[in-house]
Each structure stands twice: as structure tokens, then as C-alpha cells.
Structure 1
């Protein structure tokens, strides 16, 4: 008789996660939930997380950004947080954590004078009344890192994965085997499963899939963080609401609160070629040039944009190209036990507004597929079936958002009319 009490294929194995971002940390937590310590038949796999940045740099370097966590998928990022037992914990550090329901912010598409063209105020979802939220990226990653350690993951900061060598087996079908990983501190580790959660410019993808580069969308962005003494000084509606501002005659604009004393502004425009990527530390000439041009362009919008630009923290100024790439299917038979999640698989530009949500959903889906499958090959097939359609859909929506954000002339008025019609009939949860 066949033994039906066989241990899981990941029992007592070593799983290495490259990258301590939203995707990697969420996966570490999800795996701990899928493989509980109380399961006497299957021993929880050992989870090792390697991150090239130090813990302080990783969190501090993301303080000037906030992310939208949504409920509009099944599950969305918010529902995944609830399943991970982290919804209340993350909400407590969100941008509007202490606001009443009436004052809770939401996503908007505004005209250039900040009159709402489309206002999307999410309704509570499910029996627990889950709500979307805006949360600082640094705050989110800080809580996820703490929760991952509490779940039993070992996080090795300031240690990058710099080399990957698949060790294909010979006695299995397909010959999945293991993978040997070289680390920046000179050490090496052999893993039974390697998770590439190392972002859109994935080092592991460049090593194993060098042809899978990023695509330039034709748009570059720049922006910074406006810092105020207290929340009452942040110009309304940016003290609580976030979204895109239309009517900039080819200049895109996005604004968002970050915390109780700061708000993000980001402008964008089309360029036939990518522009230089700039970030702190910048020269004084670079700072002056970015601020001066932004103040000049702010004349196309409500004066509050100029107010945001004028109080920008120089260390927060950044310029980057909007890049993306479609998701790809895995081939563990050819590459060994390596799985890409989050931006490492399906990079999206900032215009998607969905990167953190997809990272959370990827983590939950992969952990669930790994737990439920009989083999790694079966798990990855099931995982790809969830991720590929989702990633392609978000990519299409992102490209549409780019088009509408930079529309001018008759196209702008056509889009504005279409959004007005949508606003009459549709309420989409965020």
C-alpha cells in the first residue's frame, strides 16, 4: 500500500530568499504560516533571507515614498495582510491611521486645479470590513521585517547574492536538484529552493535569464518630498488624498501624503530616450536645476504644487526612467529550483500603482502553491497560472495610465469625458 503520510517535499529543506523587500519578507511570513510548527509530519523549511542593503539603509532609503494597498483583487494586498495576521499592525502605521472614517483619504484623478474628475473611495470588504490604505514604504518594510523574524526567518543584512549555480539532479523527473548561491561576504550556501525577490533589476535574472531585461516606457519621472512642520501646513487635499493630476499639457503629476508632516510630488514627461538616473547625493547644481524646472512647470497646476516643490527635502530628490516588463513562466527543469516573484518577475512602472499589492499576492500565492502541490514542478505550474494573467493585466493598465496622465489637446478632453462617465457608474474599492 502506498504511504500517504509522506513528508512534504520542502520538509526540513533550505529556502533562500534573495531580497528583503515587500515580496521577499511577505513570502517568509507566508511560508511560516503554510508550514506550522505544530505539523509533526512535515518539518518547517529553514528560511534564509539575504539583503544587499543594511537594515538601516533599507528602511531609511524608502522613507520618502508611500504605497497604496488595495482590496480590488481576490485576494488583494489588503486581504493578504489579513491572512498573514498583519492587517491591523500595518494599518496602525499607515498614513491616515488615526483619521475617522469621514476623514479617511482616497485615490483621486484631479484636473489641474485639483477638482476631482474621478474619486475612488473604497467600501469595506468582507465580514471584517477591510479597507484599503496608504502606507509609507519604509514603515511597511520595517513591520514586515520584524514579522518575518518573529515567524522564524533568518535575515542577513548587508549580504548580497552575487552568483547562482544550478545543481541539477539526475534521479528525479524533471531533474530539479539544488542551487549553489555565492554571497558578497565570500560565503556560499546550497539551497533546495531559491526565491529571487531582488527587484526589477534582479541580479539573479541577469545571471540566469540575461535576455529578460526591462522595457523603457518612453516616460521619465522626477520628484521629491515636501516637508512641513505639522500636518495642518500640508496643503489640502494632499494631506490625506493621493492621485494623478491631469491637464499638465504633456506633464504628468502625482501627489500623495507620506506621513503627518510630509507629502510626495512627482512630475513626468515623455522622452524618446532614457534620461540619467539621479538620486541622493546630488550636486548643488543638480538640486537647483531640478527644483527650478519643477517650480516653472508647477505653473501649469494649482499653486499648491509650487508650495510642495519649494519645501522639498534635497536628499529626497530623485529622477528615474519608467521601466517595466511582462511576467514570464518558469522552467525549473532547465534552470533548477529558482522562482522569481514581485518586480523580479513582472516589473511595473510607478504608474501601475500596484507593485506592492502584486508583491504581497505573489508571496501568498507561491506559499500556498508550494504547500498544496506534490512536487516543486506542480507548485510552479500552479503559481504561474495565477501570476501570468495578473501581471499582464496590470502591465496593460499601467500603459493606459501613462497615456492618460500625459494627454493634451483633444485626447485630454476625450479622456476627461470618459472618466466623468465612469465616475457616474463605478465605485472601485482601493
Structure 2
């Protein structure tokens, strides 16, 4: 027992700053709170978040997929964190007990339905949940006392005594305070991480060649079929355009239409720009049958966004530059086409905390963490690029992709029929 407690003394009573109260940052802070030995003085964990504790505009229709069909899935971390039942309670309704992903043609004819089985120990193979709801569950479990809302971490540097000096910015900063010191900095400030740009200026995002425009469609009288109980992707007939759709709650649908573009279009900057974008979406998806046009017509220009699909490769840590660890999108950003970003974020937080609580030194903990997280994120990044290529194929590539999907659907259909015989 004494030796076990001795192992964590390198963090006992120390100060840990978490840059960002997103999914990965909250997962880490909550994981450390749950895993830390009760007989040992805990570290002082402070989470800084540049946003307020209110869902910002443009994220009302932002939903996430959390996997539970393999041990790398986020539902495993949710179970270990003690929040699994709560997030399942708030999961997107109407998708049934099975976790499936659909691929439709431009007339909403089913090309492929992927069905996933829950991994051992889980009740479901996956869920979809609004991001703001998942974050609230994590915040409630962690406790507000750990979070400093309205204060962002914008830079960091190593001090002479080996600690980290973190530069702060925001409207909620106490008068005269612009920096904070810590013994360990955990960076979880997202794909466009300011800390990463400060410490790793050459390690930026790469454009995946795809633009996506989307929003939240509201149907007070009920969501039209087949989107009421299904989610997935609609692909065009070789024109390189794809449509993602998913129920968001009982009366709304999150959607995004994507296409190849050699240039990155800027974010929306006005309500007029948003309305113009909706008109562009109508034209982009003109070959898609209803309910596509109904979805566009039911979308308020205030609830739309335009973004470029960007990602970056994961990296192993080198602590010689300072005691800094990057998790979630700040280390390995993935585009929405991965469908696994939230799972990576939840697992990163849990796995890093677990290694910190079991290793005899910070360097050993980080080495063990990298051995888990880097291969996992590399695999997800590769798979997301495959989905992009398949969903936006043109010419002969489209014919090959369509044949592959159709054959896959046929084989899976046979297997499903046999399993239910």
C-alpha cells in the first residue's frame, strides 16, 4: 500500500492546469478526480475555458457520435467515469436499440446499413448526443469549482525551475492577473490550439479538401422519414456531393452538405451570408429527393455554419521543452467525417489520467500514454480519409465506390438474415 502511494508523489499536492473545458479536458479532470488514491494529497486541478458556461451560437445543432462497439470507444470511458447511464438518458431519440449507420443514394434508397453490436460490458454499440448535453454532464460530474469560465490559455513557456508559465486572456480574469504557474499543463483547447501554435508552431492543421455547410432543421409536427429514426450519409450520383443527416431531438435534424473544394471558404459573417449559404445548399443538393428540400426550408439562417474539414496527425511527446501534454483535438484533430472525435477525446482523458496514477514518473506515464493514444488516433485519421474519398467520389472512382457499397450491403444483408433465421 505504501509503495503504491509513493508512485503518485510526483503529482501529490502539485498544480495541474487544463487548457480547455471541452470533452477531452473535462474527461481528464474528472478521470483524475475518480482515480486518485484517497489516502494521498490530490493535485490541485484548474480548468481554464475561454467560453462561458453557455452553448455558443452555431453549436446548437452540433451532435456527436460516441462508439461502444470496441474498447477504444468513448462509451467505455463514459462507463469508467460513471456517466454512462446519464448520457444514454440524453442520447438522440428514435434510433432504436441497434446502433446503425446508413448510406443512401440520391433518392434515399438504402445502399448500405452498418449494424454494430455492443462490446462486452456495454448495453449499446453507440449513441449520438448533442455536444452541449455531453459537456454539461461532464461539468456536473466534475463540479463547477474546478473550472474558470471566460478565461483562455493563449500561450505557455517553461520556467527556470522546470514549471510551466501559462499566459491567460479573457474578460473574467482577475485584475492584474495575466499568467498562472503550474507543475503540469494538459492542453485540451481544440483543433486550433493556441498553446500548440505557441509551442509547436509548425504543427498545424491540414485541409482535407472538403467544405461542409450545414445547420439544424426544426420540424414542430414531426421529423420526416427516413430521418426520423435513422442517421447516415446520402451520396450523389458521382457529382462529389454528400449529405449527412441525423435526428438531433424529437423535432429537429442536424445536417451538413459537403463537397470537394480546392479553396477554403471563410466562416459565415452575417445573416445575409447565412441565407445565401442556404440557397447554395439547395443548388448543391438539387438531385437529392425529399426530404432534402424540406430540411433546407426548415432551417433557420441563425442555426447554420460553414466549415472546412481539417485534421492533423498525432504526435509523441517530448518533455524536454516543458511538462506539457496535448490531448484530444489539440494533439490529433479529426474532421467530422471520422465520426470518432468524441470517443478519442473521452478515451484520451481517461487513459492519460490512468497512466499518471500508475506510473512512477511523469516521463514513464507520458510514454505509456503515447503508446496507447498515437496508434489509436492514427487509425481513426486513416479511416476518416477513406470515408471522405468514398462519399465524395466522382467518375470511375464513384462507380467503384458504389459497387463496393452495394456488394457490402448485400453481404451484410445475408449475414443479418442468417443470424435472425
TM-score (norm 1): 0.89
Pick the aligned partner of 2:263 from 273, 278, 298. 273
Q: Which residue of 2 aligns with 1:47?
A: 45
Q: Are 2:95 and 2:230, in contact at CA under 8 Å, matched by a contact in 1?
A: no
- The question of 1:157 aligning with 2:149 is answered yes
Pick the aligned partner of 1:65 from 62, 67, 77. 62
Q: Which residue of 2 aligns with 1:206?
A: 197
CA deviation profile, 1:71-98 (whole Å, cap 9, x unmatched): 23313111111111111100111111x7
CA deviation profile, 1:37-86 (whole Å, cap 9, x unmatched): xx31x21211100000111145x652211111112331311111111111
Q: Which residue of 2 aligns with 1:341?
A: 327
Structure 1 range deviating more: 86-95 or 71-80: 71-80
Q: Are 1:195 and 1:341, in contact at CA under 8 Å, matched by a contact in 2?
A: yes
Q: Which residue of 2 aligns with 1:174?
A: none
Segments of structure 1 that go 5 or more residues without pairing to the other structure are 170-176
Q: Which residue of 2 aligns with 1:361?
A: 347
SS in 1 for 2:262: coil
CA deviation profile, 1:327-362 (whole Å, cap 9, x unmatched): 0111112x2110100000001111111110110111
Q: 1: CA distance between counterparts of 2:125 and 2:88?
A: 9
**Structure 1 pair 99/163, CA: closer, same or farther in 2 (3 Å)?**
closer
Q: How does 1:102-251 map to 2 (within 5 A)?
A: 106-149=100-143, 154-167=146-159, 169=161, 177-184=162-169, 185=173, 186-230=177-221, 232=222, 234-248=223-237, 249-251=239-241
Q: Which residue of 1 aligns with 2:392?
A: 406
**Structure 1 pair 377/260, CA: closer, same or farther in 2 (3 Å)?**
same
CA RMSD of aligned residues (A): 2.1
Q: 2: CA distance between counterparts of 1:324 and 1:129?
A: 31
Q: 2: CA distance between counterparts of 1:146 and 1:79?
A: 19
Q: Which residue of 2 aligns with 1:6?
A: 6
Pick the aligned partner of 2:374 from 360, 364, 388. 388
Question: What number of residue pairs does the alignment pair up?
Answer: 405
TM-score (norm 2): 0.91
Q: Which residue of 2 aligns with 1:74?
A: 71
Q: Are 1:165 and 1:179, in contact at CA under 8 Å, matched by a contact in 2?
A: yes
**Structure 1 pair 3/84, CA: closer, same or farther in 2 (3 Å)?**
closer
Segments of structure 2 that go 5 or more residues without pairing to the other structure are 417-421
- The question of 1:282 aligning with 2:270 is answered yes
Q: Are 2:15 and 2:184, in contact at CA under 8 Å, matched by a contact in 1?
A: yes
Q: Which residue of 1 aligns with 2:32?
A: 31
Q: 2: CA distance between counterparts of 1:390 and 1:398?
A: 13
Structure 1 range deviating more: 21-30 or 49-58: 49-58
Q: Are 1:370 and 1:376, in contact at CA under 8 Å, matched by a contact in 2?
A: yes
- The Cα of 1:3 is off from its aligned counterpart by 6.8
CA deviation profile, 1:248-284 (whole Å, cap 9, x unmatched): 5111211111111110121111111211122xx6232
Q: 2: CA distance between counterparts of 1:182 and 1:414?
A: 51
SS in 1 for 2:42: coil
- The Cα of 1:238 is off from its aligned counterpart by 1.3
- The Cα of 1:226 is off from its aligned counterpart by 0.6
Q: Which residue of 1 aligns with 2:419?
A: none
Q: Are 1:181 and 1:190, in contact at CA under 8 Å, matched by a contact in 2?
A: yes
